[in-house]
Every structure is written in C-alpha cells, then in structure tokens.
Amino acid sequence: MLLMKCQGKIQFKEIDMAASEVMPVLRRLGQRYDGANEQLDDYFERGMRGEEPDPSEFFAQLQKRQVSQQAMEATIKLNEKGKKAALNESK
C-alpha cells in the first residue's frame, strides 16, 4: 500500500508489485545465489585437498551466481520502478 494525496484527500493505492510478492522471489533467488557460493567453496576446498576439479564446473557456478544476482537486481529495480510510477501519478 502507498499513501497518496489526491484532490486534497489522502488515499491508499495498491502498487503493482507489493513487497509481500517481492520478498519470496528475492528469498528464492538469494537461496540460489548462496547455493552457487557454497558450490564454489566446495570447488576450492577440493582443489586444496589435492583433487583436480573440473574447470567447467567452476565457470558454470560463476555463471549461475551471476544470473541469480542479475535477477535479484532486476526484481528490485522493477519494484522500485512501480513505486516511482505510483508516486509520479499522484503529483
């Protein structure tokens, strides 16, 4: 909900993407990001133990982490854009 002033009256207006909708998406993306970080940590630990992990696995995890981060950033920007649009409409 967003508090708006319209024709001298204060009103509440729904925003396109409510925080209650955004948080589960961000939580899920954050879990993917954390999972990729854990797998990268595991990759490095295996290397330190003397194993020779597959380099393609390293790049795959980096890519997974980057995609998750970009998706989180895009979700946040879309949410902010909706709030800015609602504020501009109220002016």
Q: What is the pLDDT of residues 12-61, one digit of tens each?
A: 444 455 667 888 889 999 999 999 999 999 999 999 999 999 999 999 99
Backbone angles phi, psi at 18, to 5 degrees: -70, 155
Helix or strand (DSSP H, E) at 2: strand 2-6
Give yes or no for a contact between 90 and 9, defined as CB atoms under 8 angstroms apart. Answer: no
Distance between CA atoms of residues 19 and 24, nearest Å: 9
Q: What is the pTM of this model?
A: 0.67
Q: Which residue has the higher pLDDT, 5 or 84?
A: 84
